[in-house]
């Protein structure tokens, strides 16, 4: 089996193996460590000895041995088994009826995602724990994805697991309002992982494809478990429609190519078709939500054969609705662009003025980059030049910084007086 195929298989199996262990032992930190050890053992042994006939069963067996060894060393195995018996009842010891799957055969990805997004955890801890426990990434891989040392990421993950244990969280699906709140947290974490991969917040590369791929994979898993949830479908559609533009987002030098200048023949037509179908179906049968609206906007962008064919009027309307049901400064920022494209740059700039006092946006480079773009459209090259420079100073993404500086330099050269021609 090729290394890439092996990696994909292990990432797919990791949450199912961890779920099987948690149903039996209900000790998140111990089980998660055991699964990571089993994954490492598979990476070492399978390329040499061959892939087992039942890879999941192999991983469960190896990980279970690690858990039992740990429990025995702490002299707590009997107490854990007694607690599990009380919690699950005597029926847990019985074989399942014919035709029903055994507990170890269940796909516990969604339950595991809920646990990793426990309300007691901070958003960074939720992201790190999700990538490790559900995504099957090692601590070093998670650290590389977020450009921090492994020595920083390791303790963060350990603290997250300890916090879950301290909260007494059990391996179960929440119900009622708790379910609604935690599903929102799960979707938000997946959204953040995707965004960080699609446009890296810092570093030398514009994107981190391993993060976008992982976010899409995990969101597909949630969609399989909740096929009738419109917002889950909307989020998956949004990711697919956005990621479809990935091949055209950078040029041969790795520099950013704006949406209006991208070669649309390079976009992923299969992803566009799938994403459009998902959001269309969701909006027809489900209550309207923020992810569906964002997906609908993304669909309008990718359906235009040319940048000048973009239906900005419809996009403006959708951003207006989005701003009412999920107010957010980034929504206002994007709404201002749509307004500028329909009513002129001055109208868009007026909307931006309201964001200057927002502490969340005051030092965000995107506010100044959008203002620079609209000032350029308004034929104010000097002010646009200054705003591009300001945005470049604020961003920590090197490709975005290069792009902004190029824009500023282009305006500076265009405004420079030309040398006289002739005698």
Tell which CATH classification among 1.25.40.10, 3.40.50.10490, 3.40.50.2300, 3.30.380.10 matches the domain 314-415. 1.25.40.10
Q: Which residues in the chain are classed under CATH 1.25.40.10?
A: 314-415
Q: DSSP letter string over 52-77?
A: -SSHHHHHHHHHHHHHHHHHHHTT-H
CA 210-127-130 angle, to 5 degrees, is: 80
Residues in the chain: 423
DSSP at 251:
-
Separation of alpha carbons 423 and 420, rounded Å: 8
Count CA atoms within 13 Å of residue 143 on its CB side: 13
- pLDDT tens readout for residues 2-38: 777 888 888 889 888 998 888 888 788 889 889 999 9
- pLDDT tens readout for residues 404-423: 999 999 998 876 555 555 55
pTM score: 0.79
With a cut of 60, say whether residue 255 has pLDDT above it: yes
Separation of alpha carbons 291 and 365, rounded Å: 24
Which two tokens mark 98?
A: 């014919």
Q: DSSP letter string over 331-353?
A: HHHHHHHHHHHHH-HHHHHHHHH
DSSP at 380:
-
- pLDDT tens readout for residues 336-393: 999 999 999 999 999 999 898 888 787 889 999 999 999 999 999 999 999 999 999 9
Separation of alpha carbons 242 and 1, rounded Å: 31
Phi and psi, residue 8, nearest 5°: -65, -40
């Amino acid at each position: 089996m090729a290394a890439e195929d092996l990696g994909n298989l292990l990432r797919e199996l990791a949450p199912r193996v961890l779920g099987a262990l948690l149903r039996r032992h209900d000790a998140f930190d111990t089980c998660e460590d055991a699964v990571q050890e089993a994954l490492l053992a598979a990476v070492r042994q399978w390329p040499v000895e061959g892939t087992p006939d039942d890879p999941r069963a192999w991983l469960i067996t190896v990980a279970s041995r690690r858990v039992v060894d740990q429990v025995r060393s702490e002299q707590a195995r009997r107490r854990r088994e007694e607690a599990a018996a009380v919690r699950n009842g005597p029926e847990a010891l019985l074989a399942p009826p014919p035709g029903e799957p055994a507990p170890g055969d269940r796909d516990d990805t969604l339950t595991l995602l809920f646990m990793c997004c426990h309300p007691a955890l901070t958003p960074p801890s939720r992201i790190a724990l999700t990538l490790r426990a559900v995504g099957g990434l090692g601590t070093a891989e998670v650290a590389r994805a977020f450009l921090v040392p492994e020595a920083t990421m390791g303790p963060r993950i350990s603290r997250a697991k300890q916090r879950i244990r301290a909260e007494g969280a059990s391996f179960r699906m929440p119900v009622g309002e708790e379910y609604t709140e935690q599903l929102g947290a799960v979707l938000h974490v997946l959204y953040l992982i995707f965004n960080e991969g699609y446009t890296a917040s810092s570093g030398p590369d514009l994107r981190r494809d391993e993060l976008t791929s992982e976010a899409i994979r995990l969101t597909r898993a949630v969609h399989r478990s909740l096929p009738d949830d419109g917002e889950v479908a909307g989020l998956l559609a949004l990711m697919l429609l956005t990621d479809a533009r990935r091949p055209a987002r950078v040029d041969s030098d790795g520099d950013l190519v704006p949406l209006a200048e991208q070669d649309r023949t390079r976009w992923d037509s299969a992803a566009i078709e799938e994403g459009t179908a998902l959001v269309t179906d969701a909006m027809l049968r489900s209550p309207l939500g923020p992810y569906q609206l964002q997906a609908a906007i993304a669909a309008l962008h990718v359906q235009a054969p040319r940048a000048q064919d973009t239906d900005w009027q419809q996009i403006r309307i959708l951003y207006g609705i989005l701003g009412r049901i999920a107010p957010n400064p980034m929504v206002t920022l994007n709404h201002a662009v749509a307004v500028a494209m329909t009513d002129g740059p001055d109208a868009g700039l007026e909307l931006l003025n309201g964001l200057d006092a927002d502490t969340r946006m005051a030092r965000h480079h995107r506010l100044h980059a959008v203002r620079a773009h609209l000032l350029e459209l308004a034929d104010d090259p000097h002010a646009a030049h200054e705003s591009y420079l300001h945005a470049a100073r604020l961003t920590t993404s090197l490709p975005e910084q290069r792009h902004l500086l190029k824009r500023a330099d282009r305006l500076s050269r265009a405004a420079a007086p030309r040398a006289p021609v002739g005698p």
